[in-house]
Amino acid sequence: MGIDLSKIILRKDISINSLSGRIIVLDGYNVIYQFLSSIRDRFGRPLKNRDGVVTSHLSGLFYRNMNLMASGIDLVYVFDGEPPIHKRDELNKRKKNKEKENQKYISAIKDGNIVDARKYAKRTSIVDRNIIDEAKELLTIMGIQVIMSPSEGEAQASYMARAGDVWASASQDYDSILFGTPKTIRNLTLSNKFNPELIRLEDILNKHKITREQLIDIAILVGTDYNTGVRGLGPAKSLLLIQKHEKIEDIPDIHDKISLNEVKIIRNLFLDPKIIKNYKIEHKDIDERRLVSYLCGEMNFSEERVLKTLEKTVKHDKNKQVNTLDSWI
């Protein structure tokens, strides 16, 4: 779901080409969910192979990542580990919402309302263990490094950006900003119809004359994946309150509306999340033969389209000797 801070976030459009030569880390769950929700047929159903295995996420991961790599961008994916206890309520709520949306989808299909069916279907996507494992396998074959976080993927990605091991983290949500990533890229994995956006944490803090801790307090008032927030407070009102009173605990009568003990716990989840530091960023080559075998042989992708996309990407990899694909087609 992410945190609704859009009204106080500064962003600017950038080009894909401006990211050439950069290492960008992405939150794997975030990206997979995006593809599962958006890559569907006219009835809202996800793409499947001949055995009935869902392939929407694999299609998105392959074609979009290959295009990014062909633009000279190095990618690293981070996947979630065990979610914090405070996130369980949010996860349970999401599960119930998906069940409701699925019932609406079934009703729309029965009524022949394809527009509504597609709308509801997008909200029913579930990222299960099989989908995660398939995604990790494909990314590895593509030469994209996969790192497992002990907890929140965006927390791990943000640490890697702060450490200078990657240039920026990429996500559609604003959570990574609270975790302290200096630079966040939005729209990176969307189609070319959407310009990537660059968000700098420093610009936000300077613009509003606040600290990162105060930005976290604003998010807590609005509501995060760890708490429901204070009724009636959006990002603009919360910003004004923190600018005036400096921290949540000093807002008059706020203790009647939110648990101050919970505030401390959630604040710490963003300031000191569980992460690993013993990772290593390294360039890996695409396993071309295995990639074609996996996508075209096992997942029934179009061989012509896969080879065309692969050839385009391989030609842009200056760290390896490129041979024609004819010898192994």
What pLDDT, in 10s, does the model give residues 118-152? 777 777 888 999 999 999 999 999 999 999 999 99
**Domains plus CATH for the chain?**
6-203 (3.40.50.1010), 206-271 (1.10.150.20)
Those residues with Cβ within 8 angstroms of residue 120's Cβ, 6 or more apart along the chain or in another chain: 44, 101, 102, 104, 105, 108
Report residue 267 as tokens.
């604040």
| Lowest-confidence segment of 39-43, 102-106, 239-243 by average pLDDT | 102-106
The total of other beta-carbon atoms located within 10 Å of residue 110's CB is: 9
Report residue 8 as tokens.
């106080």
Cα–Cα distance for residue pair 34/123, rounded to 1 Å: 10
Cα–Cα distance for residue pair 217/270, rounded to 1 Å: 10
For residue 232, give the DSSP letter: T
For residue 150, give the DSSP letter: S
Cα dihedral 281, 287, 148, 190 sign:
positive
For residue 83, give the DSSP letter: P
pLDDT greater than 70 at residue 329? no
Average pLDDT over residues 37-42: 88
SS3 track for 91-151: HHHHHHHHHHHHHHHHHHHHCCCHHHHHHHHHHHCCCCHHHHHHHHHHHHHCCCEEEECCC
The pTM (predicted TM-score) of the whole model is: 0.89
- Higher-pLDDT residue of 42, 315: 42
Longest dimension (CA), the chain: 73
